[in-house]
Amino acid sequence: MSAQLALYTLEVTRTDSWHCRIVHHEIIHSSRAKMVLFDEDPVSLITETTNQFHIAPDKEALSRISESIGTLHTTRNAKLNQQQSILKNLSRRLNNLKSEYAYEEERHDAGKHASEMLRMDTEKFRVAKGVSDAEIEGERLGSELAGLKAQLEQLEKEGTEGGRRSVGDAEDEVILKLQFYRSLGIDASQDDTTGEYNRAVIHNTAQGDVNVVNVDGKMNRSFYANMFWDSL
């Protein structure tokens, strides 16, 4: 019988790498049946072809890739767990801060705070005004004290008659001085031996102090005058 058969032969050639090529042979048979003969035994050809494939390196590469993927997966999970733990801690702190803020906000009284600030401002201005008034009063008293010192020195120089002294009026001058000092709170005492006034007892009624000053004549009059005024 006449028939058309197609024969596919697998030839394996190896150059730099393995390639598979199919060579197609078309054989036209005549009316007489003829057998197709192979150049090589098919079993041997298939066995040889199978032996040319080396899959061990590929299996090792796949094993290494799988191991690397597993390591990356483990590392990623560990890092993810760490980040989740940090996130939980931050969330817990945020909730605590929110609770504290809400508690303080409930306790805060805006009206009371404003009233307290107003009171403190008023007190501050009152204290500042008191300090300013005290400074002004201190300056005024200082000026008055300086004037009194100048008047006292002038009176001591001029005497009771404005510089026109006489022997008969010496006793009256001493009495007037003693009265003036006594009006200021200064008591003069005489020395029993010489009869001179060499000691002054100064009474400070405002502070309740009593100071005793020995007037021995070693210092000038300005020194003793300043000492008297400082004690007063």
For the chain, the domain total comes to 4
Residue where one domain finishes, among candidates 67, 87, 108: 108
| Neighbouring C-alpha atoms within 13 Å toward the C-beta of 45 | 11
Residue 63 corresponds to which tokens in the numbers above?
């094993």
35 and 64 housed in the same domain? no
| Arithmetic mean of pLDDT over the chain | 73
Q: In the structure, what pLDDT confidence band is assigned to residue 15 with cuts at 50, 70 and 90?
A: very low
pTM for the model stands at: 0.28
Q: How confident is the model at residue 87 (pLDDT cuts 50, 70, 90)?
A: very high
135-149, 153-167, 186-200: which has the minimum mean pLDDT? 153-167
Residue span of the structural domain in which 76 resides: 58-108
Considering 86-100, 166-180, 187-201, the range whose residues carry the highest mean pLDDT is 86-100
The string of pLDDT tens digits covering residues 40-78 is 678 888 888 888 877 888 889 999 999 999 999 999 999
| Shared domain check, 15 and 65 | no
Q: For the domain that residue 199 is a member of, what is the CATH number?
A: 3.30.160.430
Let me know if residue 113 belongs to a domain.
no
63 with 104, same domain: the answer is yes
44 and 64 together in one domain: no
Task: Give a yes or no: residue 114 inside a domain.
Answer: no
> 172 lies in a domain?
yes
Rounded-to-integer distance, Cα 212 and Cα 195, Å: 18
Give the pLDDT score at 13.
37
Tell whether 138 is covered by a domain.
yes
